[in-house]
Amino acid sequence: MSGNEPNPAATLQRATPEAQPRPAKAADGKRVDHARSAKQFLNAPEHAKSHDTRVWAMRTKRDKQAHTIEEWEELRELASQIKTHTLAHLDTYLEQFEANAKANGIHVHWAADGAEHNRIVHEIFTEHGVKRVIKAKSMLMEECGFRHYMDSVGIEIVETDLGERIQQLDGEDPSHIVVPPVHKMRSDVARLFAEQLGSDPDNDDAHYLAGAQRDATRPLILDADAGMTGANFAVAETGGFVVCTNEGNADLSANVPNLHVASIGIEKLVPRVEDMGVFIRLLSRSALGSPITQYTSHFRAPKQGGEMHIVLVDNGRSKRLGMEKFWSSLKCIRCGACMNTCPVYRRSGGLSYGATYAGPLGLILNPTFDAHRYSNLPFASTLNGSCTNVCPVKINIHEQIFGWRQVLAENGHLPWTKKTALSAAGKVLASPKGYRVAIKTTNSALKHLPRWALYNRMNAWGEGREMPSPPDNGTFHDWYRRNRLKNQAKTPNEGDSQ
Amino acid sequence: MRIGLFVPCFIDAFYPDVGIATLELLERFHCKVDYPFDQTCCGQPMVNSGCHAEARATEALFVKNFAQYDVIVAPSGSCVHQIRDNLTAVEQTPDVKHVRENTLELVEFLHDVLEVDAFPWARFEHRVGYHDSCNTLRNLGHGKPSELHGEPFSKPRALLEKVAGIELVQIDRPDECCGFGGTFSVTEPEVSAQMGRDKIADHGRNGAEYIVSADSSCLMHQSGCAARIGAPIKFKHIAEILNGASQ
Ligand code: SF4
């Protein structure tokens, strides 16, 4: 085929690096089209390849680390049980946490949803006359649209996590929950920093780029009025919380200014400090394949002369807790291992999911926020099950993806064409006669069969693949009739049952 | 033991040789095998898309065809997974439960039930990359997936190693999904085809002449990708090799 011949232009030195793919966001009220965005991502082959390679490397390192721990599977089981237990008694543990945090001098607030979270934090900032905030990476704040909100009220937010800062400077959402700019190549960052920070556009050395960013951001950090962090874990027994980072930037955010606000999802609770041993051993090994994060910071009380607030955010979590098939997604500790192992995530990039959470985790969380908008996402999976096997808290991720498909179909979220095609397929396949007719009324099985055998528009199959050719001697059924029934007086009459 | 042979719809239509090899292979081990004539499909196309109600009649037909057998054997991991784990649209009568509990994929049947220790008629003098389909590996337990801690084992490889002349090659991402995924292959055609091409390239890079699997659907997808880009790799279902195919 002509498409296979090497393209001479591709072998020449590229004058300019490949542009970073930027999938379009679905408009308000519209369904996210993962397949379309994935295609856009794959149309930038250098980025696609680099993404797959980098993310797969994390998965490989994870395997190495996990397999060096004899009791790995027992640890996962233990972590899963601790989370199950906590979620079953979440109200009690939350009350305990609140009481202990207050006793330590922390102000505790409750937010029912993202909007309330933003409002509460805004009020705290207004009281303190805050103009600039430094902030450690937090997926919960992404979920709440916090950065955009603060933008709209004129409070400046500066990300202290390098990856998240890159995304902020580029006006993009994180594409990975642990490595926010993992979809970018070094050349993209060099270009971005040249535009935003005035660094050398032709120097894409990682140290140089990190240095340029540090020099530009440090002054902003030093005179910030407030600091924000999320939390990886909140400990009921102490009223304290734990933040894990590789750059120590949570400590910066929490300690440089006198005011520290922490946004914590209510599912982050664990009962005892002792439980941390289990989760800390699992978290970084699962995430990046390193034995531990560089900084595991425990916060328990405001610093001397400072003030500390915690906002406990529900934002759909208690509703999810009541969903029989899907509540266990609340066990998630946001390690990202399921994304790293997911072959679809690796090929399509995190922004193609058009949602706060990408990858397998995103497929099961996002529909709880907006079933229609994210109704395509549970179909962006081959159901290969690898995500379930890597998940350190043993969430049955691929079974929940499968479960969501049924829920979405039953609630009318499937496109009409798909539903109609499958309903027709169900009718043909339930009738031996209809099934045989579908194959035999035409000389070429290909003309009719694929509609139901492959369930959908065949042109999609043909975009990157050839169809199988129909066998020379007919179907297995034909063969059986010719070879195994030839001596029998009466041949079965297929279709009798219909 | 009465065995009912299930030949899934796309194998019936596109890969009759796989059905023939399965039947002959079972007969070589003196199994009494019936092929119920009114069979069609296991319902997976609909269930895979969340349309369980639309699968109900197909599932009921499947049970009607196979309830009378002690064991149901099929050369397709994904269909066996559907029957065993997801045939839930129909009312769970004793017949349905019987069928679900007694449906086995061919490799499992040979390895676990017949405990086959030799294929004296088989000789395959080629370098083979074995493709663990996700359904056989993670849902049916054909082997230890790379993500899990524990002693490695592989039922299909254990069977193939008994074939004279065969050489099994290792690939770089041993149990990475090939991108078929049922309806996924048409709802996400680009990602699916990219995964297929990556899979073929991995096998090719590591010197495989053939990609062999217990799932014809994965092979259908991969061979379609290979044909489109002109990759010189060949495909075979494990039943054909165990039944004595030489190429
Ligand atoms: S679902 Fe599991 S693997 Fe995925 S991010 Fe959460 S804890 Fe990690």
pTM: 0.94
Nearest CA in chain B to A63: B147
**What is the pLDDT averaged over residues B228-234?**
95
Residue recorded with tokens 């007086």: A489
Measured on CA atoms in the order A48, A53, A56, A58, is the torsion positive or negative? negative
Q: Which residues contact A262 (CB under 8 A, 6 or more apart)?
A: A228, A229, A230, A231, A241, A254, A299, A308, A309, A310, A311
For chain B, give the percent of residues with pLDDT over 90. 96
How would residue B213 be classed by pLDDT, with cut points 50, 70 and 90? Answer: very high
Query: What does the alpha-carbon distance between residue A85 and residue A295 come to, in Å, rounded to a whole number?
Result: 27
Reported as a single tens digit per residue, the pLDDT across B25-48 is 999 999 999 999 999 999 998 999
Query: What does the alpha-carbon distance between residue A228 and residue A155 come to, in Å, rounded to a whole number?
Result: 13
- How far away is chain A from the Cα of B204, in angstroms, using its nearest Cα? 16
Structure tokens that stand for B41 in this block: 């499909």
A240-245 and A295-299 as β-strands: parallel, antiparallel, unpaired?
antiparallel
**What is the pLDDT averaged over residues B61-86?**
97
Q: Do B16 and A38 touch (CB under 8 A)?
A: no
pLDDT of the residue at A15: 60
Task: Let me know if A202 is exposed, middle or buried by CB neighbors in 10 A (0-12, 13-18, 19+).
Answer: exposed
Cβ A58 vs Cβ A340: under 8 Å: yes
For chain B, give the percent of residues with pLDDT over 70. 100
The preferred substitution site among A286, A342, A381 for testing ligand 1, maximizing ligand atoms within 8 Å of CB, is A286
Reported as a single tens digit per residue, the pLDDT across B127-180 is 999 999 999 999 999 999 999 999 999 999 999 999 999 999 999 999 999 999
Q: For each successive 10 residues of chain A (498 residues), what is the average pLDDT? A: 45 69 90 96 97 98 96 97 98 98 98 98 98 96 97 97 96 96 96 96 93 94 96 98 94 93 98 97 97 94 96 98 97 98 98 97 97 96 98 98 97 86 85 82 47 52 82 90 74 48
Q: Do B61 and A419 touch (CB under 8 A)?
A: no
Nearest CA in chain B to A57: B173
Inform me whether the C-beta atom of residue A344 falls under 8 Å from chain B C-beta atoms.
yes
Q: Do A341 and B147 touch (CB under 8 A)?
A: yes
Is the pLDDT score of B99 beyond 60? yes
- Picking from B50, B61, B191, the nearest residue to A38 by CB comes out as B191
Q: Between A45-67 and A34-42, two packed helices, what is the crossing angle to 10 degrees?
A: 100
Alpha helices in chain B (DSSP H): 9-14, 16-28, 44-47, 56-66, 77-86, 94-101, 106-108, 134, 155-160, 184-187, 189-205, 216-229, 238-242
Selected for mutation to probe chain B from A39, A60, A346, A384 (highest B CB count within 10 Å) is A384
Query: Strand, helix or coil at A265?
Result: strand
Residue recorded with tokens 């990219």: B194
